[in-house]
Amino acid sequence: MSKRGYHHGNLKQALVDAALDLIRAKGPTGFTLSEAAKQAGVTPAAVYRHYEGREDLIAEAALQGYEIFADVMEHAYDHGQPSALTAFERTGRAYLAFARQYPGHYIAMFESGVSTNRTPDLARASQKARGVLDLAAHNLCDRIPADRRPPATMFSAHIWAMSHGVVELFARNSPGTVSPFNPEDLLETGIGVYLRGLGILDRD
């Protein structure tokens, strides 16, 4: 039996943990439910008591990932207070930290092709995580001159996209994307350039 295998009353979590191991090793489409069952130390039939297919299992891993992600983002935001700028910058960096610390969850969330609208719980968890960055952007918008002020949700989407790009290109050891700069410096510099372009020049 796997060291992380099934214990009485915890089959669902054992299967999620097994899926996370397999996602990290083989990608979200590189394993079967039978492999997840074997990794968890149970029979394939046991998996179908909880999940109809592999995507259901991956969706559960993604749900747990979004819940962790929301906590990470909230922690970053809270520890940036009372500075709206620092809180905003920290939420951007929290994206990179999460991707490094929880690679299996990150892949399930963003690279598996599982829609965040697959279940109401998954949609809520995803929106909660995104809502932290939206809030940080909204609080910072008051410092942007009115004629250069994008909608707060667009503002946060830009930073989300920048953070995601840095993760995908430079923090995941992707072939052919070696950078002379570390991902943290790339992201911090990119956010700085973006904010200066909007007229935010000084820390509050």
DSSP state letters, 161-185: HHHHHHIIIIIS--TT---SS-HHH
pLDDT 10s digits, 46-78: 888 888 889 999 999 999 999 999 999 999 999
Residue 6 lies inside a defined structural domain of this protein:
no
Quick one: pLDDT at residue 178? 65
- Positive or negative: CA dihedral 133, 134, 137, 142: negative
Residue 146 lies inside a defined structural domain of this protein:
yes
Q: How confident is the model at residue 182 (pLDDT cuts 50, 70, 90)?
A: confident
Residue 70's contacts (CB-CB under 8 Å, 6 or more residues apart) are 125, 128, 129, 132
Quick one: pLDDT at residue 2? 41
Q: Are 86 and 1 in contact (CB under 8 A)?
A: no
Q: The whole model's pTM is what?
A: 0.85
Query: Does residue 114 share a domain with residue 19?
Result: no
* More reliable by pLDDT, 173 or 176: 173
Residues 168, 171: Cα–Cα separation, whole Å: 6
Q: Could you tell me the CATH number of the domain that includes residue 36?
A: 1.10.10
Looking at the structure of the chain, the number of domains it has is: 2
Query: Does residue 123 share a domain with residue 91?
Result: yes
From 181, 70, 197, select the one nearest 121 (Cα to Cα): 70
Query: Does residue 33 share a domain with residue 89?
Result: no
Query: Does residue 105 share a domain with residue 24?
Result: no
pLDDT 10s digits, 25-45: 999 999 998 999 999 998 888
Query: Does residue 58 share a domain with residue 39?
Result: no
Quick one: pLDDT at residue 203? 44
What's the mean pLDDT in 90-115?
91
Is it the case that residue 188 has pLDDT exceeding 60?
A: yes
Residue 143's domain comprises 54-197
> Which residue carries 């790339």 as its tokens?
186
* More reliable by pLDDT, 150 or 171: 150
Report residue 102 as tokens: 């929880």
Query: Does residue 28 share a domain with residue 104?
Result: no
**Lowest-pLDDT choice from 3-17, 102-116, 126-140:** 3-17
Quick one: pLDDT at residue 141? 83
Residue 55: is it exposed, middle or buried by C-beta count within 10 angstroms (0-12/13-18/19+)? Answer: middle
Quick one: pLDDT at residue 87? 86
Peptide bond before residue 151 is cis, with ω within 30 degrees of 0: no
Is it the case that residue 115 has pLDDT exceeding 70?
A: yes
- CB atoms closer than 10 angstroms to residue 148: 10
Residue 202 lies inside a defined structural domain of this protein:
no
Q: Distance between the two ends of the chain, CA-based, in angstroms? A: 55
Residue 109 lies inside a defined structural domain of this protein:
yes
Q: How many residues does the chain have?
A: 204
Q: How much is the mean pLDDT over the chain?
A: 85
Is it the case that residue 164 has pLDDT exceeding 80?
A: yes
Q: How confident is the model at residue 117 (pLDDT cuts 50, 70, 90)?
A: very high
